[in-house]
Structure 1
Amino acid sequence: MRSFTAILSLALAATSVIAAPVDERATCSDVYVYFARGTTEVGTLGTVVGPGLKRDITVALLGRSVKFEGIDYPANLVGYLAGGDAGGARTMANSVTATAAACPNAKIVISGYSQGAQVTHLAARQLPAAIQNRINAVVTFGDPYEDTALPGVLQSRRKTFCNFGDLICQGLSVILAPHLTYGTDTPAAAAFVKSKV
């Protein structure tokens, strides 16, 4: 009877070890990038900047695990004219906050193109100083808020790409050719991110 009880105890102990939840920190990536696409772009990464930025950051950080996530938000004209989609900004801020809590050693990057840059600015303003300190780099492209400082330490961790002749960067709602060529800046953006993480 004692041997049966001992075997049963061992079996129960083994089951509890197997069923124990996995420590989230063990599954964390080294670097998290949250990116918001521009107005009317498809998917969550868009086509002008997102895919190239994902590729170039992944290559630049070869040897480190990178999770690149597009922010799911409407990216419509109404949001752009409002100064950036508030829901998208909340989603980005919440994603950063959750990652900062779950993955204390992870490096975090936030980025956006056009309206996505607006969303990035709005998200940054929603974060308390302790979470802002966890963000290693902020990269914006075709940024309508080019001349607006980011809060706290984030301004010193910022890189903005604004082409000569891009009226969006001047706060005007006119899209000209210079606004559509930021895909060529993704290698430089990736190099900047590498220098910060």
Structure 2
Amino acid sequence: MTSAATICAISAAGAGSPTAAAQTCSDVDIVFARGTTEPPGVGWLGTAFINSVRSKVGSKSVSTYAVNYPANWDLYSSVRAGGTDALAHVHATAANCPNTRIVLGGYSQGAGVVDVITIGQRVGLFTPMPIPAEDEPHVAAIAVFGNPMRTMNGGGSLVDKSPVYGGRTIDQCATGDQYCDPGPSDNTAHYAYVQNGMLDQAAAFVAGRV
């Protein structure tokens, strides 16, 4: 996990150098929010997604940021905290590394974190926490998995709910995933995104936009 400060790393210059420091920014920065109750980090699906994106972008450098939030069952407070942290990271990266292509990703509750900073309207109890207009052009792609806001009042796919980011988004919901699919549930579907090919499909979508 790296922070914006690491992505835009400051390396000390040699003694007597006229420049105090030099910046190194990655080509792509993947900001990922883990699922409910997962330990801090990008989570199991985030790790697989990041690895898949890296395998598809050739020589481009890829940094990662794990959204720092509780990911607990106090969903409203937890998602809001995640949105606040993700917004701060996006803003810092856009300001310090303007050529870095930012990718937003999330799984399960983490998909909800991405929703609140990119949707155009209220969904259930969740009101938008929009990415500032000056940072929006730096967001190249969005990928979410098992998105619970799809089934909430006013919900639906993020592709359709975000007038700004819909065209840059892939919102993956496995058939039978009870957290995003209102149809008959399959207890394994929420954990099947690697095996069913949807994760690799999302990585290819993202790689084509960075």
What's 1:34 paired with? 31
What's 1:119 paired with? 113
1:35-184 equivalences in 2 (<5 Å): 35-47=32-44, 49-79=45-75, 82=76, 85-124=79-118, 125-146=129-150, 147=156, 148=158, 149-170=160-181, 176-184=187-195
| Identity among equivalent pairs (%) | 33
| Cα deviation code 1:122-171 (max 9, x no counterpart) | 23342122312221101000011231545442111010110111121147
How far 1:107 sits from its partner (Å)?
Answer: 0.7
| Cα deviation code 1:64-101 (max 9, x no counterpart) | 1000221121111112xx28521111111111111111
Larger Rg computed on CA atoms: 1
CA distance in 2, matches of 1:78, 1:175: 25
CA distance in 2, matches of 1:84, 1:158: 23
In structure 1, the gaps of 5 or more residues are: 1-13
In structure 2, the gaps of 5 or more residues are: 1-13, 119-128, 151-155
How far 1:15 sits from its partner (Å)?
Answer: 5.1
Query: In proportion to residue count, which structure has more helix?
Result: 1
- Secondary structure of the 1:183 match is coil
Kept after mapping to 1: 8 A contact 2:174/2:181? no
Counterpart residue type for residue 190 of structure 1: A
Counterpart residue type for residue 114 of structure 1: S
How far 1:112 sits from its partner (Å)?
Answer: 0.2
Q: TM (normalized to structure 2)?
A: 0.76
Q: TM (normalized to structure 1)?
A: 0.81
CA distance in 2, matches of 1:16, 1:144: 56
CA root-mean-square deviation: 2.3
Kept after mapping to 2: 8 A contact 1:36/1:70? yes
CA distance in 1, matches of 2:206, 2:192: 20
Kept after mapping to 1: 8 A contact 2:37/2:72? yes
Q: Match for 1:189 among 183, 202, 206?
A: 202
Q: Bigger relative contact order, structure 1 or 2, given CA contacts below 8 A and separation 6+?
A: 1
How far 1:28 sits from its partner (Å)?
Answer: 0.3
- Secondary structure of the 1:99 match is helix
- Equivalent pairs, count: 177
- Secondary structure of the 1:130 match is coil
